[in-house]
């Protein structure tokens, strides 16, 4: 296995955890898009978690591209 494989594996597990930790609403309907709030502002730890998730998505995508190119 190459380093890109390890980075892909680690970032995918971290990405799953980060997505599951994020909350969208208090109820199941809000989580599925039925919430009454249209515009929300991320503040505090929610904003940090969102930014970390975006960074991990970029790392995951780049490592997948590295794996494809190395084939």
pLDDT in tens, the chain (71 residues): 788 899 999 999 999 999 999 876 554 445 555 555 555 677 788 888 999 999 999 999 999 999 999 88
Structural domain includes residue 9: yes
Q: How far is CA 6 from the centre of its chain?
A: 18
Contact indicator for 4, 67 with CB cutoff of 8 Å: yes
Structural domain includes residue 13: yes
Rounded to two decimals, the pTM is 0.72
Structural domain includes residue 58: yes
pLDDT at 27: 47
The range of the structural domain enclosing residue 8 comes to 1-23+43-71
Cα(52)–Cα(23) distance, rounded to whole angstroms?
Answer: 15
Structural domain includes residue 19: yes
Contact indicator for 63, 13 with CB cutoff of 8 Å: no
Structural domain includes residue 29: no
Cα(12)–Cα(18) distance, rounded to whole angstroms?
Answer: 10
Structural domain includes residue 65: yes
pLDDT at 63: 94
How many domains does the chain fold into?
1
């Amino acid at each position: 296995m190459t380093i890109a494989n390890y980075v892909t594996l680690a970032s995918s597990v971290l990405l799953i955890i980060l997505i599951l930790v994020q909350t969208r609403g208090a109820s199941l309907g809000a989580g599925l898009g039925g919430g009454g709030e249209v515009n929300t502002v991320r503040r505090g730890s929610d904003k940090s978690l969102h930014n970390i998730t975006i960074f991990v998505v970029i790392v995951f995508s780049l490592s997948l591209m590295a794996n494809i190119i190395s084939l």
